[in-house]
Amino acid sequence: MAATALREQLNGLVNSMFAEGLLDQQFQQLQMLQDGSTPGFVAEVVTLFCEDSERILTELTKLMDQAVVDYSKVDAYVHQLKGSSSSVGAQNVKLACIQFRQFCEENNKEGCVRALNVVKHEYCHLRSKFETMLQLESRIQAYENKQQN
Amino acid sequence: MGGGKERIEKGRRRVRGLLALQFKNGVNSWEDLDENLVGSCFPCGGILVGWLISPLSFPSSPPPPQRIQSSESKREPNQHQPNPSQPPPPLLLPFLHLPSSYDHSFIAAVVVEGNQQQQQQQQEVEEEGMTVEAEAPFHVLAVDDSLIDRKLIERLLKTSSYQVTTVESGSKALELLGFREDQSSTPSVSPNQHEIEVNLVITDYCMPGMTGYDLLKKIKGSSSLKDIPVVIMSSENVPSRISRCLEGGAEEFFLKPVQLSDLKRLRPHILKGKSNCKGQKQQQPQPENNNNNGSSSSSSSSSNNCSNNQSNKRKAMDAMDEGLSPGRTRPRFSSDSLTVV
Nearest to B168 by CA among B201, B193, B203, B196: B203
Residues of A in contact with B259 (CB under 8 A): 29
Residues of A in contact with B149 (CB under 8 A): 83-84, 87
CA-CA-CA-CA torsion sign (A128, A129, A131, A136): positive
Select from A29, A38, A54, A72 the residue whose CB has the most chain B CBs within 10 Å, as the one to mutate to test that interface: A29
Residue B206 sits at the chain A interface (C-beta within 8 Å): yes
- Does the structure show a pLDDT above 70 at B176? yes
Report the range of poorest mean pLDDT among A58-67, A72-81, B121-130, B161-170. Answer: B121-130
Residue B147 sits at the chain A interface (C-beta within 8 Å): yes
Residues of B in contact with A87 (CB under 8 A): 146, 148-149, 152, 256-257
Q: pTM surpassing 0.80?
A: no
Please tell me the predicted confidence (pLDDT) of residue B271: 83
Residue B148 sits at the chain A interface (C-beta within 8 Å): yes
Are A33 and B259 a contacting pair at CB < 8 A? no
Please tell me the predicted confidence (pLDDT) of residue B108: 39
What is d(CA B113, CA B41) in angstroms, rounded to the nearest whole number? Answer: 11
Hey, how many other C-beta atoms are within 10 angstroms of the C-beta on A11? 11
What is d(CA B206, CA B189) in angstroms, rounded to the nearest whole number? Answer: 32
What is d(CA B15, CA B12) in angstroms, rounded to the nearest whole number? Answer: 8
Residue B155 sits at the chain A interface (C-beta within 8 Å): yes
pLDDT category of residue B275 using cuts at 50, 70 and 90 = low
Q: How far is CA A97 from CA A19, A43, A87, A127, in A?
A: 20, 23, 13, 16
**What are the pLDDT digits (tens) for A107-144?**
999 999 999 999 999 999 999 999 999 999 999 888 88
Are A88 and B148 a contacting pair at CB < 8 A? yes
What is d(CA B48, CA B104) in angstroms, rounded to the nearest whole number? Answer: 25
- Does the structure show a pLDDT above 90 at B323? no
Burial class, B237, CB count within 10 angstroms (exposed 0-12 / middle 13-18 / buried 19+): exposed
Please tell me the predicted confidence (pLDDT) of residue B270: 85
Q: What angle do CA B90, B127, B304 make, to 5 degrees?
A: 75
Nearest to B141 by CA among B259, B270, B265: B270
Q: Strand locations in chain B, DSSP E? A: 15-23, 47-53, 106-113, 139-143, 163-167, 200-204, 230-234, 252-255
Each as own residue / partner, the long-range contacts of residues B76-79 (CB below 8 Å, 24 or more positions apart, any chain) are B79/B325, B79/B326, B79/B327
Please tell me the predicted confidence (pLDDT) of residue A29: 94
What is d(CA A96, CA B335) in angstroms, rounded to the nearest whole number? Answer: 56
Residues of B in contact with A82 (CB under 8 A): 235
What is d(CA A29, CA A33) in angstroms, rounded to the nearest whole number? Answer: 6
Are A84 and B146 a contacting pair at CB < 8 A? yes
Please tell me the predicted confidence (pLDDT) of residue B204: 97
Segment B268-276 mean pLDDT: 76
- Does the structure show a pLDDT above 60 at A146? yes
Nearest 10 degrees: Cα torsion B200, B205, B206, B212: 60
Hey, how many other C-beta atoms are within 10 angstroms of the C-beta on B148? 24
Provide DSSP, B37-91: HTTPPBTTTBEEEEEEE-TTSSSSPPPPP-----GGGGS-GGGSPPP-SPPPPP-
Minimal C-alpha gap between B208 and chain A (Å): 10
Nearest to B162 by CA among B232, B264, B246, B235: B264
Minimal C-alpha gap between A87 and chain B (Å): 5
Q: How far is CA B304 from CA A95, B163, B307, in A?
A: 47, 16, 6
Q: How far is CA B215 from CA A43, B83, B143, B209, B230, in A?
A: 32, 54, 10, 10, 9
Three-state DSSP class for B247? helix
What is d(CA B98, CA B56) in angstroms, rounded to the nearest whole number? Answer: 8
Segment A28-57 mean pLDDT: 94
Residues of A in contact with B257 (CB under 8 A): 26, 29, 86-87, 89
- Does the structure show a pLDDT above 60 at B20? no
Amino acid at B322: E
Nearest to A83 among B149, B159, B259 (CB): B149
**What are the pLDDT digits (tens) for B221-231?**
999 999 999 99
Report the range of poorest mean pLDDT among A111-125, B20-34, B78-92, B272-286. Answer: B78-92
Burial class, B277, CB count within 10 angstroms (exposed 0-12 / middle 13-18 / buried 19+): buried
What is d(CA A115, CA A78) in angstroms, rounded to the nearest whole number? Answer: 10
Minimal C-alpha gap between B234 and chain A (Å): 9
Residue B256 sits at the chain A interface (C-beta within 8 Å): yes
Closest chain A CA to residue B99: A37
Please tell me the predicted confidence (pLDDT) of residue B4: 47
Nearest to A33 among B149, B155, B206 (CB): B155
Are B151 and A83 a contacting pair at CB < 8 A? no
Nearest to A87 among B101, B152, B206 (CB): B152
**What are the pLDDT digits (tens) for A60-106?**
999 999 999 999 999 999 999 999 999 999 999 999 999 999 999 99
The ipTM, to two decimals, is 0.93
Please tell me the predicted confidence (pLDDT) of residue A39: 86
Are A41 and B259 a contacting pair at CB < 8 A? no
